[in-house]
Amino acid sequence: MAVSSRNTPIPERVEIRRALLSVFDKTGLVDLAKELSDRGVELVSTGGSAKTLREAGLDVVDVSDITGFPEIMDGRVKTLHPKIHGGLLGIRDEPEHKDAMEEHNIGEIDLLVSNLYPFEQVVASGASYAEIVENIDIGGPAMIRAAAKNHAYLTVLTNPADYRDFLAEFVEN
């Protein structure tokens, strides 16, 4: 078994029990979420993604229910919280991380599904300065980078074109 930079063993497979879905491009989101839900995965989501999933009849936990803090500032602040980033960054078999997660009631996030605001397209469209500024994504890149840093313990999907391959692997394993 491989070891991490902290000399802890890296698991070959991680069971996906909780998924955070927070996307701009909702292509394929409902089908992905239905398959996850049908296999017992808890769905956690934000704003428009949560609304889309609920409209499809899925049970979804709002990020604000996890953090105990509402989405604020027109949705600019929703996932930038220790209960989200701790769930993404916690090294699952590192005693200090496990203790901190337990002490602060931080649940593991095993799958992150996130894609970013279409900044380049908005700029190219000739949008107003205000619209361009609002399409500078902060939470999405922060979560994706956190998931990438802790890739041994969770999976990250950023492109709807990858959902089908992911689901095939998920169902098989």
pLDDT of 165 strictly over 90: yes
Q: Cβ–Cβ contacts within 10 Å for residue 45, how many?
A: 24
pLDDT of 8 strictly over 70: no
User: ∠26-29-35 over CA atoms, to 5°?
Assistant: 175
pTM for the full predicted model: 0.88
pLDDT of 119 strictly over 60: yes
What is the structure's pLDDT at 158? Answer: 95
Distance CA 149, CA 105 (A): 21
* Helix segments in the chain, DSSP class H: 29-38, 47-55, 63-67, 82-89, 95-103, 119-124, 129-134, 139-149, 163-172
User: ∠73-100-3 over CA atoms, to 5°?
Assistant: 110
Distance CA 92, CA 101 (A): 9
